């Protein structure tokens, strides 16, 4: 017969205690059965008492009783704890944190940059708070010239610079024209696309006080209106899809001569103004007016240190917001929504 010493018994008890520490409490009921059930670890262990020598039996019994009590207490504790912690399925897939994305206008800016990069335009950015000189004066609009009224400008209160005048929140990206000529030290070729924030004192469903414009400027030898028209057509097709056409109408700007307003054909009625028997509700005329353009005025070239006898250029510029919201299927009827910061709105783009 194998005999069991008190030492053996203590070692076994210790081993079980340890094991219980390491067990994962997924189901306290199971643990209860495993340790204290009829065929559980405790009962198996207590069978060893048969093999303890008679003089040690009493102490062995006490050891086992004490162990049983401590087991019961521990298992009860575990079961209480388990009930108070909510059940977690560790194998369930996690909850995806909401991922943000670029603002629709940032997406449009990136797209516009890419479209012009393909035909060799360099993306630049010039100050959005700039001198009156770059926003107006260098563009053939001397102080007090009535044409300035077109740009409902925010002037910044502050010291007036003798050479550059007051500080303005740029009302258009045309302030980049002479700045780009200066950057290139009056040496064409220039192929610039300037995309930046602009500010004007007006706000309604089609205007926000802060908006964005993109401004193209090309200066080189032999540049003419056909290059301008070709560039506009190219942009129209790339941005709105094949078949979209551009149209230029005579207009007036101080800094271009001749000057034009630019329209794009409506991609819903394909420039016809009609859908079946009905008038196209989107454009009403077949065309959408988008912005201004023209051949760079010699005085502007002169301000940028470029010899207007050798070089000519064209420029165009208009709003990113307007360009973007004209896209088919967008149906944004109030552009102020773009800057409302409402995630429910922005999530749709």
- 3-state class percentages of the chain: helix first, strand second, coil last, to nearest 5: 40, 25, 35
Q: Which CB sits closer to ligand PHE, 256 or 325?
A: 256
CB of 301 vs ligand PHE, minimal distance in Å: 13
CB of 315 vs ligand PHE, minimal distance in Å: 4
In angstroms, the CA 177 to CA 338 distance is 28
Q: Tokens in use for 205?
A: 């469903």
Q: Which CB sits closer to ligand PHE, 142 or 241?
A: 142
List the end-to-end C-alpha distance of the chain, in Å, as a whole number.
83
Is residue 316 near ligand PHE by the rule CB under 6 A?
Answer: yes
Site for ligand PHE in 88-147 (CB under 6 A): none
The phi-psi region of residue 35 (left if phi > 0; otherwise alpha if psi is between -120 and 50; otherwise beta) is: alpha
CB atoms within 10 A of CB 126: 21
In angstroms, the CA 188 to CA 181 distance is 8
Q: Which CB sits closer to ligand PHE, 67 or 253?
A: 253
Please tell me whether residue 252 adopts helix, strand or coil conformation. Answer: strand
Q: What is the CA radius of gyration of the chain?
A: 40
Is residue 315 near ligand PHE by the rule CB under 6 A?
Answer: yes
Q: Tell me the window of 40-48, 125-133, 187-195, 286-294 that interacts with ligand PHE (CB under 6 A).
A: 286-294
Please tell me whether residue 165 adopts helix, strand or coil conformation. Answer: strand
In angstroms, the CA 177 to CA 135 distance is 9
Q: Which CB sits closer to ligand PHE, 244 or 256?
A: 256
Q: Which CB sits closer to ligand PHE, 35 or 214?
A: 214
Q: Which CB sits closer to ligand PHE, 140 or 174?
A: 174
In angstroms, the CA 160 to CA 296 distance is 28
Query: Which member of 138, 140, 170, 174 binds ligand PHE (CB under 6 A)?
Result: 174
Query: Which member of 176, 291, 304, 313 binds ligand PHE (CB under 6 A)?
Result: 291
CB of 331 vs ligand PHE, minimal distance in Å: 25
CB of 249 vs ligand PHE, minimal distance in Å: 13
Is residue 172 near ligand PHE by the rule CB under 6 A?
Answer: yes
Site for ligand PHE in 252-281 (CB under 6 A): 253, 256
CB of 148 vs ligand PHE, minimal distance in Å: 12
Query: Which member of 288, 317, 320, 324 binds ligand PHE (CB under 6 A)?
Result: 317
In angstroms, the CA 288 to CA 218 distance is 24
Q: Which CB sits closer to ligand PHE, 246 or 256?
A: 256
C-alpha distances in Å from residue 87, one per residue of 75, 79, 82, 154 = 18, 13, 8, 60
Q: Which CB sits closer to ligand PHE, 8 or 233?
A: 233
Is residue 293 near ligand PHE by the rule CB under 6 A?
Answer: yes
CB atoms within 10 A of CB 316: 24
> Which sign does the torsion angle of CA 245, 327, 333, 270 carry?
positive
Is residue 294 near ligand PHE by the rule CB under 6 A?
Answer: yes
List residues binding ligand PHE (CB under 6 A).
172, 174, 215, 253, 256, 291-294, 315-317
């Amino acid at each position: 017969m194998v005999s069991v010493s008190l030492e053996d018994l203590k070692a076994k008890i210790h081993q079980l205690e340890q094991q219980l520490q390491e067990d994962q409490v997924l189901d306290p009921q199971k643990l209860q059965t495993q340790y204290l059930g009829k065929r559980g670890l405790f009962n198996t262990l207590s069978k060893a008492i048969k093999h303890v020598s008679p003089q040690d039996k009493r102490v062995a019994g006490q050891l086992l009783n004490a162990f049983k009590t401590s087991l019961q207490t521990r298992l009860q504790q575990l079961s209480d704890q388990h009930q108070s912690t909510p059940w977690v399925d560790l194998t369930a897939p996690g909850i995806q944190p909401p991922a943000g994305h670029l603002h629709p206008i940032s997406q449009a800016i990136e797209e516009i940059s890419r479209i012009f990069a393909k035909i060799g335009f360099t993306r630049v950015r010039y100050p959005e708070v700039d001198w009156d000189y770059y926003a107006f004066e260098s563009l053939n609009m001397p102080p007090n010239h009535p044409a300035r009224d077109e740009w409902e400008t925010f002037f910044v209160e502050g010291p007036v610079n003798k050479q550059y005048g007051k500080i303005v929140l740029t009302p258009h990206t045309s302030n980049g024209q002479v700045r780009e000529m200066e950057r290139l030290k009056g040496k064409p070729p220039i192929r610039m696309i300037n995309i930046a924030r602009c500010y004007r004192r007006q706000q309604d469903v089609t205007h926000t006080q802060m908006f964005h414009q993109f401004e193209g400027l090309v200066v080189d030898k032999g540049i003419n209106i056909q290059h301008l028209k070709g560039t506009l057509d190219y942009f129209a097709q790339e941005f709105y899809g094949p078949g979209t056409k551009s149209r230029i109408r005579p207009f007036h700007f101080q800094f271009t001569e001749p000057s034009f307003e630019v329209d794009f054909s409506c991609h819903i009625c394909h420039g016809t103004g009609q859908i079946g028997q009905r008038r196209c509700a989107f454009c009403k005329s077949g065309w959408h007016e988008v912005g201004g353009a023209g051949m760079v005025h010699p005085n502007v070239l002169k301000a940028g240190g470029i010899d207007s006898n050798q070089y000519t250029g064209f420029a165009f510029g208009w709003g990113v917001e307007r360009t973007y919201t004209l896209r088919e299927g967008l149906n944004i009827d109030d552009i102020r929504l773009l800057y409302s910061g409402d995630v429910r709105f922005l999530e749709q783009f």
